[in-house]
């Protein structure tokens, strides 16, 4: 197995913090994502390698093993167990000829150990090879907020495989879902790893989403704010809604429309609320007549 320097893949140093690892991964994932490079096999391969590097280095335990054992980090525990057994046998026989300082014995390094233990014929015939679970894969999928509003199917490519999944309405930005068995292949008939998809929701609308609630600002002319009246707004589905405005409505007044917000994740028929904030607009470029009338109003107000 060829050694892959995961630090080099992410373009970071071995002293990189978890935040630096996350930042480097996101930057490269956006550049190499299969959706951006649909017909680029080299980019697909690099994206797969990038996910492997992130999966290992973003996990403190896996990173520790990788730093210690390199390409054979997944088999480090087998090596440690074997080493302990050999040490116990040596002590039991009253011999301490083998040295275990620094994690080695009789000059045999870690890679040679696994080559002899799991890859070659021993004196008693071929040893049974242990089954290892495949690596989990981390992937990112970008959605427009309007896509996240409805349950729909999405097809994309991961690890050279075409995957079609159903995305429930109400998925949130940076939410991660797990798909069993779609990770890296297992070793020696071991089970496949899992696929973890993190969603990046891009908002291209005038609505602001906070959880399951939506927020929008609606301009209100001065006359309607003072005298009251009706206004028409559009909800997220572009449905026209007629609202009653009370006389004397102040700038910044917020109106709640129950059940007109965003769908609740995996709860069919349930929605958050829509909050409309009124922005009272002061008229500009008054006509001579309008200026005269406002002056009269000002005089009346001063009495």
* 161-217 tens-digit pLDDT: 888 999 999 999 999 999 998 888 888 888 888 999 999 999 999 999 999 999 999
Percent of the chain with pLDDT over 90: 43
CATH class name, domain 208-302: mainly beta
Q: What is the CATH number of domain 6-126?
A: 1.10.287.110
Q: Over range 93-113, report the average pLDDT.
A: 44
At 267 the pLDDT is 93
- Contact between 131 and 188 (Cβ < 8 Å): yes
The CATH classification of domain 137-202, taken from the options 3.40.50.300, 3.30.70.360, 2.60.260.20, 3.30.210.10? 2.60.260.20
* 26-69 tens-digit pLDDT: 888 888 877 777 777 788 788 888 888 888 898 898 888 888 87
Long-range CB pairs of 128-132, under 8 A, 24+ apart, other chains included: 129/188, 130/78, 130/188, 131/186, 131/187, 131/188, 131/189, 131/190, 131/191, 132/74, 132/75, 132/186, 132/187, 132/188, 132/190
Where in the chain are the domains?
6-126, 137-202, 208-302
* 269-286 tens-digit pLDDT: 999 999 999 999 999 888
Answer whether 6-126 and 137-202 agree in fold. Answer: no
């Amino acid at each position: 197995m060829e050694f892959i320097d995961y630090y080099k893949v992410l373009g970071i140093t071995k002293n990189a913090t978890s935040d630096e690892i996350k930042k480097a991964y996101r930057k490269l994932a956006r550049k190499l994502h299969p959706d951006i490079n649909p017909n680029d096999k080299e980019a697909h391969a690099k994206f797969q390698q990038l996910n492997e590097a992130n999966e290992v280095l973003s996990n403190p335990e896996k990173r520790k093993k990788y730093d210690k054992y390199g390409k054979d980090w997944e088999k480090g525990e087998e090596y440690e167990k074997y080493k302990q057994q050999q040490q116990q046998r040596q002590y039991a026989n009253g011999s301490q000829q083998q040295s275990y300082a620094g994690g080695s014995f009789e000059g045999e390094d870690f890679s040679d150990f696994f080559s002899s233990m799991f890859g070659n014929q021993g004196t008693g015939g071929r040893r049974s090879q242990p089954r290892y679970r495949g690596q989990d894969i981390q992937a990112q999928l970008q959605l427009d907020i309007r896509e996240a509003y409805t349950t729909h199917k999405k097809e994309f490519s991961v690890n050279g495989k075409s995957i079609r999944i159903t995305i429930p309405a109400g998925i949130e930005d940076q939410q991660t879902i797990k798909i069993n068995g779609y990770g890296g292949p297992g070793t020696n008939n071991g089970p496949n790893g899992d696929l973890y998809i993190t969603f990046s929701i891009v908002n291209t609308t005038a609505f602001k989403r906070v959880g399951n609630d939506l927020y929008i600002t609606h301009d209100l002319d001065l006359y309607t704010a003072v005298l009251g009246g009706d206004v028409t707004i559009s909800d997220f589905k572009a449905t026209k809604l007629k609202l009653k405005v009370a006389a004397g409505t102040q700038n910044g007044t917020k109106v709640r429309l129950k059940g007109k917000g965003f769908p609740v994740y995996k709860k069919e028929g349930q929605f958050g609320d829509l909050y409309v904030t009124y922005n009272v607009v002061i008229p500009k470029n008054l006509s001579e007549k309008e200026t005269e009338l406002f002056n009269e109003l000002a005089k009346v107000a001063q009495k």
